Structure 1
Amino acid sequence: MNFVYIFAAFVVVLVAVCAQEVPKVSELFSFEKLAEYSSLASCFAVIHSDFAYCNQKAEEKGRVSLEDVDENSEWASRVKCCGTWNLRNCWVKFAKDKCDAKQAEQVSRLPYIFMKNLNDTCKDYPDGSDRFD
């Protein structure tokens, strides 16, 4: 199966899960982004099993944390936002180990690509709120 089809399917699933509008095709596949997608594809080819591992663990934690919880509650917001950052950090950990620095940075930006309103949705739990110092 072609990477573009896999990537597009992943975007559609992630967007559906996050209740966001599906991005326009022109936003996903502009000429300016083709090289970036090729670079990401090369990285995903190397970390695909790690990526799946991160997603599986995030889903398991999310289901347990949100069991019997109102999806509009403050707790649910915290779990979803901090979970997004934890998931992204898991992806980046493997990307840093197995891909080049540019590719790891591209992986780091994926949540912002998939969820356009991420900063607004998670304003109370911004990027980094998943870390405890």
Structure 2
Amino acid sequence: MRVILLLVALSQAAAFILPRSPLSVHRGSPLAAALYAKTKFKNFEEMLEKFEEPLLVDFYATWCGPCQLMSKELVTVGSTMSGQVKVAKVDTDKYPNLGDKYDVEGLPTCILFKGGKPVHRMIGLLKADQIKAEIAPFL
């Protein structure tokens, strides 16, 4: 089973990292290089438009403990809801403009996008079952 979890790494040529495994690895390690593939988009909006299924975006920071715990829960959501929803992560320290644009005031914040528009917001650490229950009415 392939888990799709998008780790957003926007730059001039926006690159989105797609982990092939739910393993937690340091992004600079050789193991990470073997597990991750990149897909490029011009910007965040293009990514939102690209996917037909809803996109659950986790706004996080690397220094945030609850955000790290939430990542594991999102891998579970991504694997158990494959085909229904895709999961993406945006580092708000690297891309504060996206956090500002979507009024992210606390971390972690997850926003479900459908048709490129935000339809539901969750703030704080949630378990996978809670996340699935929250987003189910919007799928």
TM-score by length of 2: 0.28
Determine which structure has more spread, i.e. the larger CA radius of gyration: 1
After TM superposition, the score normalised by the length of structure 1 is: 0.29
Q: Which has the higher strand share?
A: 2
